[in-house]
Amino acid sequence: MGVTQSLIFLLSFQLLHLIKGSTVWLNENGYEDLVVAINPQVPEDANIILNTMSMIKNASNSLFEMTKHRFFFKSVKIIIPKTWKKNTNYSRIKTESYDQADVIIADYYMKYVDDPYTLLYEGCKMKGRYIHFTPNFLLNENLTNVYGEKGRVFVHEWTHFRWGVFDEYSRDVPFYVSEKATIEATSCPAGVTGIPVFQDCRGDICKPRSCRYDGQLYEKGCVFIPDIHQNISCSIMYMQYARPVVEFCDQNTHNSEAPNMQNKICNHKSTWEVIMESDDFRNSAVLNTSAPPSEPTFSLLQAQERVICLVLDISGSMRMHNRMENLRTAAETYLLHDIETGSWVGIVTFDSDATERAHLQQITNDETRQKLVQLLPIIPSGLTNICAGIHKGLKVIANKMNTTYGSEIVLLTDGEDPGIPACFNLVKQSGTKIHTIALGPQADKKLEELSELTGGLKLSAPDGVVPSKLTEVFSAITSGNGDISEQSIQLESKELAVQHSAWMNTTVPVDKTVGNDTFFSIAWNLSQPFFFLRDPKGKEYGSSDFIIDNSNPYTARLRINGTAEVGDWQLHIKNVHPATQGISVTATSRPAHYDAAPVIAAAHMNRANTAFNPVVVYAEVSQGFWPVLGATVTATIEKDDGTAVTLELLDNGAGADVMKNDGIYSRYFTSLQGTGRYSLKVKSHGRNATTRLSLERNQASYNSGYRENGKIYVTAPRPEFADEELQVQLGSFSRISTGSFVVNTGDPAPTYPPCKVTDLHARIENRTIVLSWTAPGGDFDNGKADHYIIKTSENLLDLRNNFDRATSVKCSDLTPKEAGREESFEIQPENKTENGTKIYFAIRAVDDNNLISEVSNIAQTTWFLPLKAFATLNHQGNTNGANTVVIVAVTALCVAVVCTIVNTTLCLFSKKRGRLEIEKMQRHV
């Protein structure tokens, strides 16, 4: 009792000096605990901190003005990497971490790129994952010329991140034909004045010229150059760099015709309408002040060495279903291969009481790891007292570190304990992140609350005859400090029931981004099989090359010295036991190079913000901050007491997938088996293919230039990349990622309608309108729909709001295909259709239970027959755009090449591959 009281006193004392956890929350209109984290690979520069603080201060004022005196930033935490020098002004982190930060500051792994962006997994109104800025964006004042004032850029990204809205500009479709048959810029609001310009580049020289008109729109590559001063206020989600930018587009000013992502994903709602529907808006009121009540306060926190304590259940129920054997093998793998060198690790076990098995010690070599493995538990007995384990784990940490702040506990249990709520307050005060692992179907239902209180991972593993599923779960518990170079990456995890004399053959590809500290592990549940491993060059490793520990005779391990050969490693296993037995294979590795990003995959499950609130499975596959396209991604979801379901996840911009080719692979999970825990395993792989990196993001718009007093000032073109620069020859790669999801409510087997069609497209071909879309399923994006309902109108909002009353398109002969297949349907327009008519289409799918999908996105096309040459427009009603004086007054400096002024209308634009720096934009030449 005395130990517990002293620990509570220590934790209470810590609260006087440091601040609470890092989840952003709204407190009297002000956002508290916004977390900004600097990547450990960013070189130390105090100006990054100062400029970040300045940016957020300015953003607070801009946000307050643009939200009509409603929101501002109140408190911000900035996480400094442990690689930076210690400073007395830096406090110790609590439960904050890089991988859960709201804003991250890190370099791309590609040159020239400084685009601020927000990573969004989900649809309209759903919060983003993080906002990303590069150090150069924060340090290089010249970039203000192309992105605008940094505070307004932050507001642009915050609006993506917090309220789930999308860009109101479009790089792909910068112009469109309006309902009035005029060409307009894709903008919000409509009516922004400016001129279309094409930068005609020959080698290193670019000449701006008027855009050519192809009979419907301007030629590809034509950009819109706005007037620097507008008579109307532009939306910050359109051009955050424009003047004036003082508001969001609302219901009155929104340009619902514009072919942008905001209209497509948010069903043609304005940004302000989406914000008004948020919890933030409902829980706030307009403030009767001209400025925010206070400036943001900043706390500087520095990351420390990782401190982690394993708190493991050894109660009597752990005797069942091979749980203790599987725990020992999985924990052994975690200690030997997964935990980063330099981490501090302790071990606590608990039944009705708790015992310290290993005091906190730093992992500096393999010997330390082996010592910890020898202290893992073997024999289970007694009852379950989870709070006793937590108390002891915190005490082990505090004894060595004199604090529990910034530490972690991995809490594994298979049992129930009605006393868990008794330690909730202690956990909240501890500053320790608790990762929970629920093993089997009987683990306490309140277990995950410990993770929710501290920001830890909520994981679960079903029972199994071999330890692979539990090993996968342990491997998901990485440091979260942003230093991927030290983290273990799981390449393979596979288990099979293998019959007598049958073979289990597994190919494990090792790609060029990994290969250091590579381990192979084989586990079985009855007797040792025959096995050998062959590397890509044909060298074989037999069973004698593997290590089998006497304390764990059901597992064999092999560590590859140096850097593993790139290519396919072949593992061949034969079951020589007289009966069928379970055999599993696990392979892990670390990045091959400190300064080259490895391919990684992250798994996630969440409820969609749509009718029926279905569960969606997400997998993000990336290399550094670049999305990896073209991977084959499969997800296996298993209920704690049910059967496994396998899904192929897609990055096709249809069904559950919000945006095509963004490296986020998604799918609806429609096979819910009632309430309970669901474990998730995702395998991402590519086979001997070129992996393509994507540049598509929700990002701040790039200023191509402006017009002032009739003169055009053009910035250097946005950096373009050749195909070879966006393609990475990875060879074959494979990644395993895990997660879990808890279903607390809902029908045991809900019936779902087809999902909304989100990629409907219309085009004109040979006097025929062709509609195309991706087929939905009978249950969201699984199976097949029964039939379609297609409607058309010449008024966009009428079609959106009154779909059932719109004109029907006869499509009874159209039979839906399997979900994910491409659909196409041709429509012959009526002869009376006038040239220049704007036509809109929408579609709904119906399943065999007569359940109907939501109305699709609205596709639009313009009837142009025959082509007619229009005069060049400058969006002010004039036809003299071709004669407008063009002054190119901005120079790009790359390497040592300096632009030479040819005359007052022309300047060289360098496109060399050095660091792009936009010089100060000149007002006069």
Positions marked active-site? 157
Tell me if the bond preceding 43 is cis, omega within 30° of 0. Answer: no
How would you class 806 by CB atoms within 10 Å of its CB: exposed for 0-12, middle for 13-18, buried for 19 or more?
Answer: buried
- For tokens 């004032």, name the residue: 149
Answer yes or no: are the C-beta atoms of 667 and 649 closer than 8 Å: yes
Nearest CA-CA partner of 772 in 785, 758, 753: 758
CA 187/CA 426 separation, integer angstroms? 52
End-to-end C-alpha distance for the chain, whole angstroms = 80
Strand locations in 415-537 (E) = 433-439, 458-461, 489-498, 503-510, 514-524, 530-534
Phi, psi angles (nearest 5°) of residue 305: -60, 150
Angle, helices 150-163/46-66, rounded to nearest 10 degrees: 70
Smallest CA-to-CA distance from 466 within 578, 577, 323 is with 323
* Tokens, residue 832: 């009376």
What is the CA 388 to chain-centroid distance, rounded?
37
Residue 495 has phi, psi (to 5 degrees) of: -140, 145
Alpha-carbon distance 796 to 139, whole Å?
44
Q: What element of type H or E holds 453?
A: helix 447-454
Distance between CA 667 and CA 617 in Å, rounded? 5
Least Cα distance to 617 among 648, 652, 653, 660 occurs for: 648
Element (H, E) at 399: helix 386-401
User: Is 623 in contact with 513 (CB distance < 8 Å)?
Assistant: yes
Token pair, residue 706, equals 């402006």
Phi-psi domain of 62 (left: phi exceeds 0; alpha: psi -120 through 50; beta: other): alpha
Q: Environment class of residue 366 by beta-carbon count within 10 Å: exposed (0-12), middle (13-18) or buried (19+)?
A: exposed
The encoded tokens of residue 265 equal: 């994903």
Question: Rg of the chain over CA atoms, in angstroms?
Answer: 30
Element (H, E) at 6: helix 2-15
Q: Could you tell me which residues come within 8 angstroms of residue 142 by beta carbon, excluding any fewer than 6 positions away?
A: 917, 918, 919, 920
Q: Do 331 and 369 touch, CB atoms closer than 8 A?
A: no
